[in-house]
Structure 1
Amino acid sequence: MRHPVLSRCAAALLVSMSLGLSGLPAQAAAPASTASVAWVTVTGDADMDRQFAQAKAEKKPVLLYWGAKWCPPCNQLKATLFNRADFIEQSKAFVAVGLDGDAPGAQKLGERFKVSGYPTLILFSPAGQEITRLPGEADAPQVIKLLQLGLAGGRPIQAVLADAQGGKKLTANEWRLLAFYSWETDHQQLIAAKDKAAVLARLAKAAEGGDAETALRLTLKALATEGSALKPDAALLARVRAVLASPAQSHAMMDVLVNEAPDLVRNLAPEAGPARQALVADFEPALKRLEMDRSLSRADRLGALMARVELARIDAPKTELNPKLPAALQQESRDAAQRAHREITDGYERQAVVTSAAYLLTRAGLWKDSDELLKAALARSHSPYYLMSQLGGNARKQGQKAEALRWYEEAFNKSEGPATRLQWGAGYFTALVELAPEDATRIEKAASQLFTEAAGDPSAFYERSERSLARVATQLQTWNKDGSKAAVISRLKTQLDGVCGKLDAAETKARAACGKLLKT
C-alpha cells in the first residue's frame, strides 16, 4: 500500500496561465466552507462518457479526482483544498467528477486514464484532452491560484512537451506547465522511466534565460531525479545553496526541498564525507524555517521535520532501525507526533498527518513511540485498517513475526471496499508467505479467500486490483519453487480457472490477465 508519508510530488494543478506563482496567499487565508463541491460520482465508462459529453456541451473543463477513503494524501486534499470556500466557488466553473477506487468499475476506469497512485487530480479540456495531472498532496493556495488561471483552457501537456523536445519556442506559461507537471507519477505517459533524468536535464537547460522561478524548479527537479544527468559542479552547488539561504525561494520550492532533500544532497555530494555534511548543514536552517512556517499545512511542516530526520541519517543504511540521531531531533519528532495526535480534530487531517507522524517516529528510531501513537489513534480513525497495517510493518521490521502477522490479518479483516480488500489481502498474504511459509493451511485459506472476492469484483483484473492478484500469484509460485506445495497450487488453480471462466467474454483484457495468474 502507499507509503504513509504524504506525497508532495508536485506543488500545483497547473494549466495554461498568465500569472506567476510568488505571493500566493497563506493557507489559512481562505476558511473552510459549510458548502461542498458538487462531485459527480462515476462508476464506469458510460458514466464518465456522459460527463465528458456534458462538459463539451457546456464548454466546461472536467476535473477528475481519483482517490480512496483510507489514503492519507487523499484525506489531506479533503482537509486543505476540497473544503475551502474559494475552491468550492471555482468548482462551479468545471465538471467535478469523483472516482472512488473501490466503486464498481473504478479500477477499469483507472486503467483507461492511466492513473495508479491515490490521489490523482486530472484536468481535461471541454473536448476531453488531458491538460495536466497532479497526484499526491497539493499545496492548496497554489492549486487555487493555478486553477483560476487554467479554467480558460490550455494546450495538452503532451503537445507542450513535444514542442519543447523539438526545440520549438514555448510561452512562459507553457514552461511553467512543464515545471509543475508531476513527473514523479507520470506513469510513463509522456516519457519512458529510463528517459526521465535526461529529459528533465534538457528541459532545465532549455528553460534558462526565461522565467527564473520556472528554470529553478526544473533544475531542482532534474537534480533530484535518480540518475540525474545534471553535472554537480560548483555553479550548481552554489545555486542550490542560494535557494536554501533565501526564505522566499525556499518557500517557493518547498515541495521539492522537503520531498527530495536526501536525493538532492546525494546527487550534489555523491560521496559521504565533509562536503556532504556541509550541504546537510546548509539544508538545516531552511528546513527549520519551513517547519515553523504557519502558512503551510501541518502535513507540509511535518514533512520538513521528516526531511531533517532523513538528512541526519543520510549515511546510515536505509534499513537501520536505530540510527544515531541528535537527542534534540528525536525529541522534536516525539513532540510533533504527540502534538498532532492531541490537537487535530478533523478526521481527514488526522488520517493524513498522524499516519505520517507514526512513520516519522520509526525513521527517528522511536519504534515504541510509533506503536503507541498508532494504537492510541486507532479508535479515532475512519480507516483504522491503514494504521493496523503500519503496526504490522513496525513489528515486521523489528523481527516480531507473530505480532506482525496478527496486525496484518486484522488489517485485512477490517479493510473495506473490493480494491482495498484485494490490496490489503495481498499484503497480508505476502507477509504470511515470507514470515510463516510452513503454515500451508493458512496460506491456502488466504489465497482462496482473495480469489473468491475477486470473483465478485467487476474491476478485479484491472489496475491496482490486478497488481494485487498478480502479487499473490507470484508469491504462490515462489512458495512452491521446489514443487512441495503442488497440491495446494493445483487446488487454487482450479478455483482460479473457475473465476476466469465466468468473466464476460467481451472482457478480453480481464480474461487475459486472469489467465496469466498461476499459469503453468
Structure 2
Amino acid sequence: MKLSPLLSSLALALSLAVHAAHASPGPGVSWQSAAADADIDRAFTEAKAAKKPVLLYWGAKWCPPCNQLKATLFNRADFIEQSKAFVAVGIDGDAPGAQKLGTRFKVRGYPTLILFNPNGSEITRLPGEADAGQVMKVLQLGLSSGRPVKAVLADAKAGKKLTANEWRLLGFYGWETDEQQLLPADQRAATLAQLAKASEGVDGETNTRLWLKSIGALADGKATDAAQLPRLRAVLADAAQSRAQMDVLTNEAPDLVKALAPTAGATRTQLVTEFDAALKRLNEDTTLSRADRLNALQGRIDLARLGSPKDEPHPQGMPAALLANARDQATKANREITDGYERQAVVTEAAHLLGRAGLWKESDELLQSALARSHSPYYLMSQLAGNAKKQGKKAEALRWYEEAYNKSEGPATRLQWGATYFGALVELAPEDTARIEKTAAQLFADAQKDPGAFYERSERSLKKVATLLAGWSKTPAQAAAVGRLKAQLDGVCGKLDGGDAQAKTACQGLMKKA
C-alpha cells in the first residue's frame, strides 16, 4: 500500500529519529546527527550565531577505532564538559546522504574528527589514534587558537616563527585522515622532516613526534640517515618519552626499525631488543586503555615477525613467552570487558594480533565467542573470513564472507562488505560464474536503492566491483554475465536524479570500467 505524502514524511522523520538515537557517537554530549547538507548548514548557522566552533565526527557503528573513541574519549567527564563550548555534529557513515557529506568534507577513513571555527573554516583534524588525554589537549588547543592549521603550516614552511601551541597543532594533526587537505600524500614525509627540523628547540615532545612521524611516513620503510639511530634509542629508553609517543611507536614499530636499521644484523637485532622492551613497558602501563596496551603487544608481535614474509600465516621463531602473553591478554580482555563499545574495539584487535602471531585457532575461537555479544557481528565474521583465507581455507573463507555480507547493516556498509565478498569470489572461485553474477547483481540492486551509492566509500566499493568484473571476463559465459550486469547498471544510471551530475558521471564511469 502506498503511503500518503504526509504519512511518508512522518515515517521518514521517525526513521531518522530512530537512526539518530541508535547512531549517536556517545552519551552525555548533545550530538546533532547529520544526514544531509541541510543538517550541516543548520549546525553551522547555530554555531555562528552562538560564536561556537563545530566538532564534526565521522564514523560507523562497526568501526573498532570509532568504538574506541566512544569507550575512552566521548564518555570522559572533561570531554562532556568541554563539549558545551562547541556544536557537536555526528555523521554515521550509513545515514542517508552521509557519503555525499563525506565528499563535501573530504573525509574517507573512519573515524575522522574535524574542528571548525564558527565561520565554517577547518581549524584542525584531531588524531583519533592518539591517547584520549592527548586528543583532549589538542582539542583545547584548537578551541583556544581558532586559527586554521593550513595557515599555521604555511607559516611554518615559510620560516615564520610559531608559538609552542601552534607547533603542537602541527605535531598532533590527524595526518592519517588528512586526505590531502594540507598537502599531497607524496609530500608528507619530506614536509614532516622539514617541520621537525624547524621546530628544534621549541618543544621537545612535539619535535620528537614530528621527527618520528617523518620517518614512519617513509614509504615501505625506506632507509634514512643512520646517524639518527641514537635518537630513537634514547626515546625508547626513556619511559616518559616513549609514553608520550605511544601511538607512533606502537603503530609504526616495523617501519621505524627498517628505516633506521635497514639490514639484518647486530644493529637491527639490538634495536629490536630495545624497541621490544619499550613496547613491553607500554603494554604493562595501566594508565593506557586496554586497546592501546594491546596495540603495544601487537607492535611486539610485528617486530618478532620482521624476519618472516609479510603474509606468512605461520611465522617462525616467535618467542614462546610472547605467544603465551598474547593468549593470556586476549582471554583476559574477553572475560573482563563489559562495555559494548570497548568490546568491539578490543576483541577485534586481540583477534588480529593472535592471527599475526600465527595463533589462528585462538583467534577464531575468540571471534566466534564474541559474535553473540557484538552489536556488529558482521565485522567479526569478516575477520573470520580473513583468517580462513590467510590459511588457504577457501570454502570456509567464502562462507564467512557471504554471511558477513548477508548480515551487514546500512547502505554504505552493505556495499563495502558486498564488494569484499565479491572480491573474494573472483579471487578464490573465479569459475563460479553464477555466484559471481548473482552477487554483483545484488550489489547493483543495493546501489539503486541508495542515493549516496555514487559518493565516497560507496563509490569506491562499486568501482572495485566494476574493475574486478573487467578483469574476470575471460570465457564466453563470463562475458555474457558481464553483459547482463552492464545492462542492469545502465538501468541504475538511467534512474538517477538528473540534477545530480556527480552521481551520473560516477555511475557511467563504472560502466566503462566493467
**TM-score grouping bracket, smaller chain normalisation:** over 0.9
Task: Return the alpha-carbon distance in structure 2 between the equivalents of residues 159 and 105 of structure 1.
Answer: 30
Query: Which of 103, 117, 123 is the aligned partner of 1:111?
Result: 103
Q: Which sits farther off after the overlay, 330-339 or 225-234?
A: 225-234
Deviations for 1:196-228, whole angstroms, at most 9, x for unmatched residues? 121111111111122111111111111111247
Task: Return the alpha-carbon distance in structure 2 between the equivalents of residues 315 and 288 of structure 1.
Answer: 20
**Map of 1:189-200 to 2, 5 A cutoff?**
189-200=181-192
Amino acid aligned to 2:209:
R
Alpha-carbon contact 1:64-1:98 (below 8 Å) kept: yes
Structure 1 residue 393 corresponds to structure 2 residue 393: no
Task: Return the alpha-carbon distance in structure 1 between the equivalents of residues 400 and 105 of structure 2.
Answer: 34
Aligned pair count? 486
Alpha-carbon contact 2:61-2:376 (below 8 Å) kept: yes
Alpha-carbon contact 2:388-2:396 (below 8 Å) kept: yes
Aligned partner of residue 126 in structure 2, secondary structure: strand
Task: Return the alpha-carbon distance in structure 1 between the equivalents of residues 176 and 82 of structure 2.
Answer: 27
Task: Return the alpha-carbon distance in structure 1 between the equivalents of residues 338 and 245 of structure 2.
Answer: 29
User: If the length of structure 2 is used for normalisation, what is the TM-score?
Assistant: 0.92
Deviations for 1:298-352, whole angstroms, at most 9, x for unmatched residues? 0110011101111111121111111120111111001111111111011100000
Q: CA deviation at 1:484?
A: 5.0
Aligned partner of residue 52 in structure 2, secondary structure: coil
**Map of 1:209-358 to 2, 5 A cutoff?**
209-227=201-219, 231-234=224-227, 236-324=228-316, 325-358=318-351
Aligned partner of residue 283 in structure 2, secondary structure: helix
* Percentage of matched positions with identical amino acids: 70
Task: Return the alpha-carbon distance in structure 1 between the equivalents of residues 192 and 130 of structure 2.
Answer: 21
Task: Return the alpha-carbon distance in structure 2 between the equivalents of residues 147 and 180 of structure 1.
Answer: 10
2:471 — aligned with what? Answer: 478
Task: Return the alpha-carbon distance in structure 1 between the equivalents of residues 298 and 77 of structure 2.
Answer: 30
Deviations for 1:357-410, whole angstroms, at most 9, x for unmatched residues? 000001111011111111111111010000000000011111111100100000
Query: Which of 421, 441, 445 is the aligned partner of 1:448?
Result: 441
Q: Counting helix residues as a fraction of each chain, which structure ranks higher?
A: 2
2:197 — aligned with what? Answer: 205
**Map of 1:499-514 to 2, 5 A cutoff?**
499-514=492-507
Alpha-carbon contact 1:293-1:301 (below 8 Å) kept: yes
Alpha-carbon contact 2:167-2:199 (below 8 Å) kept: yes
Q: CA deviation at 1:272?
A: 1.4
1:50 — aligned with what? Answer: 42
Task: Return the alpha-carbon distance in structure 2 between the equivalents of residues 207 and 306 of structure 1.
Answer: 31
Alpha-carbon contact 1:222-1:230 (below 8 Å) kept: no
Amino acid aligned to 2:236:
L
Amino acid aligned to 2:346:
V
Query: Which of 400, 413, 418 is the aligned partner of 2:406?
Result: 413
1:423 — aligned with what? Answer: 416
Alpha-carbon contact 1:41-1:98 (below 8 Å) kept: yes
Query: Which of 55, 61, 79 is the aligned partner of 2:53?
Result: 61
1:131 — aligned with what? Answer: 123
Query: Which of 185, 202, 222 is the aligned partner of 2:177?
Result: 185
Aligned partner of residue 499 in structure 2, secondary structure: coil
2:425 — aligned with what? Answer: 432
Task: Return the alpha-carbon distance in structure 1 between the equivalents of residues 327 and 90 of structure 2.
Answer: 36
Alpha-carbon contact 1:422-1:468 (below 8 Å) kept: yes
1:463 — aligned with what? Answer: 456
Amino acid aligned to 1:378:
L
Alpha-carbon contact 1:125-1:153 (below 8 Å) kept: no
1:360 — aligned with what? Answer: 353
Amino acid aligned to 2:283:
E
Aligned partner of residue 431 in structure 2, secondary structure: coil
Aligned partner of residue 458 in structure 1, secondary structure: coil
1:11 — aligned with what? Answer: none
Query: Which of 366, 370, 375 is the aligned partner of 1:373?
Result: 366
Q: CA deviation at 1:138?
A: 3.9
Q: CA deviation at 1:483?
A: 5.8
Q: CA deviation at 1:486?
A: 1.7
Q: CA deviation at 1:229?
A: 8.7
Higher relative contact order by CA 8 Å / sep ≥ 6: 1 or 2? 1
